[in-house]
A = this chain, B = another copy of it.
Amino acid sequence: MANVANKVSWSSKDDEGRPGESTPLLNGSPSASPSPGLSRQLSQNNFFRIDRLTTVNLDDDTAQDQDGDSSTYVSKEITHNENLLSLKYESLDYDNSENQLFMEEERRISKIGVHVLEIKRWVVCGFIGIFTGLIACFIDIVVEKLADEKYKVVKENIDKAIEGGGLSISLVLWASMNAGFVMIGSILVAFVEPVAAGSGIPQIKCYLNGVKVPHVVRLKTLMVKVLGVISSVVGGLAVGKEGPMIHSGAVIAAGISQGRSSTLKRDFKIFEYFRRDTEKRDFVSAGAAAGVSAAFGAPVGGVLFSLEEGASFWNQMLTWRIFFASMISTFTLNFVLSIYHQKPGDLSNPGLINFGRFQSEAVQYNWYEIPIFIIVGAIGGILGALFNRLNYCLTMFRIRYVHRPCLQVIEAVLVGAVTATVSFIMIYAIYTYDCQPVGEDPIKYPLQLFCPDGEYNAMATAFFNTPEKSVQSLFHDSPGSYNPLTLGLFTLSYFFLACWTYGLAVSSGIFIPSLLIGAAWGRLFGIFLSNVSAVSTWADPGKYALMGAAAQLGGIVRMTLSLTVIIVEATGNVTYGLPVMVVLMTAKIVGDFCIEGLYDIHIKLQSVPFLGWEPPEKSHALTAREVMSYPVTCFKKLEKVGRIVDILSDTSANHNGFPVVDENHEPDGDNVGRLCGLILRSQLIVLLKHKVFVERASSNLAQKKLQLKDFRDAYPRFPPIQSIHVSQDERNCTMDLTEFMNPTPYSVPGEASLPRVFRLFRALGLRHVVICDGSNGVIGIVTRKDLARYRLHKGQLEELEMAHT
């Protein structure tokens, strides 16, 4: 490793190397900014939109990370694509900084104090469950009321038009009502809080993975999300209200656990102990689980979702608390809805979507059906991959051309109107083919259209209905309720509508549309099977609708264990466990062969440094020394204030962690300082703000000793360095970092392989790993980006480019 400079730079002004830039070991050219071929100025996507910044924006999570770049910030154009890795995203710090203040607090805390803390955690989880359940109730009730109102108006109009003519006016009425609702939602999303777009699941995945996504857990986001999802569902888009619940739960968790809201500018002075990344992320896991639980009535599925997406280390008590939040959430929803529906105490509808109870005879399956389930899974995998591929192309198009908020609103409104039109045409098109007698079906507004009296249009069950109800009727309507042509046309049109809808600047879930598409073709498949005379006894279309729904959803999102459990819990019957699992497994294998899951595509397109479960294959060839960033800006234990301010203000380097090296050690020939601690930018900022200088301490003995509380008060939005005034006199003072640095940061030797560093980093949720030489000298530092940068591409390890935007 002769080409690796073994130096630690001591002077801040000399330090021109950026930690984000690595030695070009794999691609041979030192390219830190996107290479010419890749540097098309792709525009900002609405998906993970970085907020429009001003230089000093105290109200911005990312201010401290971005302050340095404000001068070079090129309007709103951001280069994002899947071959880049953005340096904008910071890591969460799941590792406690065990400095002297922390240790003192830990030692001071009494046994009762520990119990009180534990009880507080349970209380917080209880509240998370209650509020998540209430939000879900609110969304459900408002959507139901508004949608009822809308369908009533449209139905009356259509019924009138059938008698008196003027069906085109009905179409216009329907389309404009939809467009109106969608417009409200998309204006909110596009102009007020772009991060509330979509389901929020990719963002929560990133957060739980340890990436700070700006604005993702803010109250404003929650409000936009809730109103947005109501608008889009009522607006008749091909979306569900379930996905956004996960995001909503996460925001509620973050808000309650911190005991304050910056949107409301209120600090309730409670739960102050929880104001750090470690605790906050645990609660956000609980919130996400509570969200899943309320959405699907699946408390165990919710816990597994949180674990699948976020667990770095499984902890029994934490999991148990998460389960508690989930249970409370589904119970609250169920209880409140039972009162609302005037059946108080009827606890049989635990989720926003309920797949309904499958009859015992339909629940049965035979072992020889398993190959058929595998075929269903494969179809789901292929269709899911097709969906993802189309959506990928669409998203690339949107990143390039549809980046301005007003264009986004126009697109959303257009989709709303087109959805209504397509539905209308579909219903109209099959009016003579598929009329069904009005029975005990769950449709509230059976559209008669041109059907004989006492019958209704079957296509309208699917289109003239909220998607949740349509899924239910596809699962449970008696065989023969749907004509194959109806199902075929519906699948086709809804597939493209849903694909177009995902990624719009509206709050929307992909779960329900996927289930609906899958249920439609699954039922079609079931009808086809039951026409084969030999199997007609067991080929229940409802059963195959369920399998198709699972296959389609699995093919799109590629979740595994948690999705199986969610579907089983939503079905309310464990007997389907094995078939659902077989279907999901096949769908995932087939789908993964073609393209990644939808969430992963969107995460990659946003250049988020996301860490997978395992290091990329073939990465054993790389060592820490090869992937680390160097030279490292280090501090001494006793450091000049001026140097600290200069380094923190340095716009070219965007360091967040600084190794502290031994000042007493006589530098060897190669001038490497020995590691004796690690201090974070946020800690230095607080120290500077409180002017904790050695000289002041001696001159003013009465000065209040800095406490952990001071750090917590500043969390999570530490002020940028520019907002802290340091006089020329103060610049010559000294700061003693000993008490505040983490004296035992994790470090590995330079010879450690990438997988080894990766596992350490991932298992402990770290933010920095210091790389040391044989005598503990600091030679480099590894952060999330250094690890996320490598991926396997066509059998070869490939290095992603770094982008500063």
Contacts and interface: CB of A to CB of B under 8 A. Distances in A.
Given A572-B574, A575-B348, A564 B323 contact: yes
A202 interface: no
A620 interface: yes
Nearest to A357: B360
A314 B314 contact: yes
Contact of A613 (B98, B315, B572): B315
A751 B678 CA distance: 14
A763 interface: yes
**Size bin of chain A's contact surface:** 35 or more
A191 B252 CA distance: 60
B574 A317 contact: no
A760 B746 contact: yes
B300 A331 contact: no
B560 A613 contact: no
Contact of A345 (B367, B572, B617): B367
Contacts of A578: 299, 327, 330-331, 347
A549 interface: no
A106 B756 CA distance: 13
Contact of A753 (B574, B585, B744, B772): B744
Interface in A564-604: 564-565, 568-569, 572-575, 577-578, 581, 585
B316 A581 contact: no
Contacts of A676: 774
28 contacts: A98-B752, A103-B620, A107-B618, A107-B620, A111-B617, A111-B618, A308-B316, A308-B319, A313-B313, A315-B613, A316-B560, A316-B613, A324-B585, A327-B578, A327-B581, A335-B367, A345-B366, A345-B367, A345-B368, A568-B574, A574-B574, A665-B774, A665-B775, A676-B774, A743-B749, A743-B751, A744-B753, A763-B763
Interface string A311-340: 111111101100110010011000100000
Interface in A655-702: 662, 665, 674, 676
Interface in A186-228: none
A739 to B, nearest CB: 13
A347 B324 contact: no
Give 3 closest A-B pairs by Cβ, nearest first. A106-B620, A744-B752, A776-B776
Contacts of A107: 618, 620-621
A98 B621 CA distance: 12
A581, A676, A759, most chain B CB atoms within 10 A: A581
Contact of A764 (B335, B561, B613, B760): B760
Contacts of A365: 347
A183 interface: no
